[in-house]
Amino acid sequence: MRVLITSTPVATHFLPMLPLIRALGAAGHEVLVAGQPDVTGPAREAGLETATFGDAFHAVDLRRGRLPEGVRPIEVVGRPPAQQIDGAAQMWRNHAPYFLYDCLELAREWRADLILSEHMEYAGPVIGKVLGVPSVWHRWGTAPTSEFMLGQTRMWLGPLCERLGLDSVPAPDLVLDPAPPALAGTDAPDALPVRPVPHTGEGSPWRWSGPSGRRVVVALGGHTLELGGAALVRRIADALGAAGGVEAVVSAPETYRAAIGALPAGLTYTGRTAPGLLFPGADLVVHHGGPGSTLGAAALGVPQLVLPQLGDAFVAGDRVAAAGAGITLDSAAAQNSDRELGRAVTALLTGDAYRKAAGRVRAQIEAMPGAEVLVPLLAGLTTAQEVTA
Q: Per-residue pLDDT for 137 more than 60? A: yes
**Strand partners for 285:** 217, 304
The answer to whether 54 and 99 are in contact (CB under 8 A) is: yes
pLDDT at 358: 98
In sequence order, what are the residues at sequence separation of 6 or more whose Cβ sits closer than 8 angstroms to the Cβ of residue 185?
Answer: 142, 143, 144, 146, 179, 315
Q: Per-residue pLDDT for 114 more than 90? A: yes
User: Per-residue confidence at 187, pLDDT binned at 50, 70, 90?
Assistant: confident
pLDDT at 8: 95
User: Per-residue confidence at 384, pLDDT binned at 50, 70, 90?
Assistant: low
SS3 at position 47: coil
**Strand partners for 4:** 32, 115
End-to-end Cα spacing for the chain: 17
Overall average pLDDT of the 6-32 stretch = 97
In sequence order, what are the residues at sequence separation of 6 or more whose Cβ sits closer than 8 angstroms to the Cβ of residue 361?
Answer: 180, 182, 183, 298, 301, 323, 325
Distance in angstroms (rounded) separating the CA atoms of residues 31 and 40: 13
Pairing label, strands 284-287, 2-6: unpaired
User: Per-residue confidence at 388, pLDDT binned at 50, 70, 90?
Assistant: low
pTM for the whole thing?
Answer: 0.94
In sequence order, what are the residues at sequence separation of 6 or more whose Cβ sits closer than 8 angstroms to the Cβ of residue 233?
Answer: 218, 220, 225, 250, 252, 256, 260
DSSP string, 69-89: TT--HHHHH-SPPHHHHHTHH
Burial of 155 (0-12, 13-18, 19+ CB in 10 A): exposed
pLDDT at 147: 87
Please, what is the average pLDDT of the chain? 93
Q: Per-residue pLDDT for 12 more than 80? A: yes
Helix, strand, coil tally for the chain in percent (to 5) = 50, 15, 40
Residue 319: which H helix or E strand, with range?
A: helix 313-322
pLDDT at 62: 64
In sequence order, what are the residues at sequence separation of 6 or more whose Cβ sits closer than 8 angstroms to the Cβ of residue 111?
Answer: 2
Determine if residue 327 is left, alpha or beta; phi over 0 gives left, psi from -120 to 50 gives alpha, anything else beta.
beta
Quick: pLDDT tens for 97-109: 999 999 999 999 9
CA-nearest of 129, 140, 141, 77 to 317 is 141
Distance in angstroms (rounded) separating the CA atoms of residues 178 and 195: 5
pLDDT at 84: 83
Question: HEC string of 182-251?
Answer: CCCCCCCCCCEECCCCCCCCCCCCCCCCCCCCCEEEEECHHHHHHCCCHHHHHHHHHHHHHHCCCEEEEE
In sequence order, what are the residues at sequence separation of 6 or more whose Cβ sits closer than 8 angstroms to the Cβ of residue 285?
Answer: 216, 217, 219, 275, 279, 293, 296, 297, 302, 303, 304, 305
Q: Per-residue pLDDT for 173 more than 80? A: yes
Distance in angstroms (rounded) separating the CA atoms of residues 257 and 10: 24
Q: Per-residue pLDDT for 355 more than 80? A: yes
Overall average pLDDT of the 215-220 stretch = 97
In sequence order, what are the residues at sequence separation of 6 or more whose Cβ sits closer than 8 angstroms to the Cβ of residue 64?
Answer: 226, 227
The answer to whether 296 and 362 are in contact (CB under 8 A) is: no
Phi, psi torsion values for 187, nearest 5 degrees: -115, 25
Domains within the chain, CATH numbers bracketed? 2-196+369-388 (3.40.50.2000), 215-366 (3.40.50.2000)
Quick: pLDDT tens for 360-373: 999 999 999 999 99
Residue 63: what residue type? R
Residue 346: what residue type? T
Quick: pLDDT tens for 269-304: 999 999 999 999 999 999 999 999 999 999 999 999
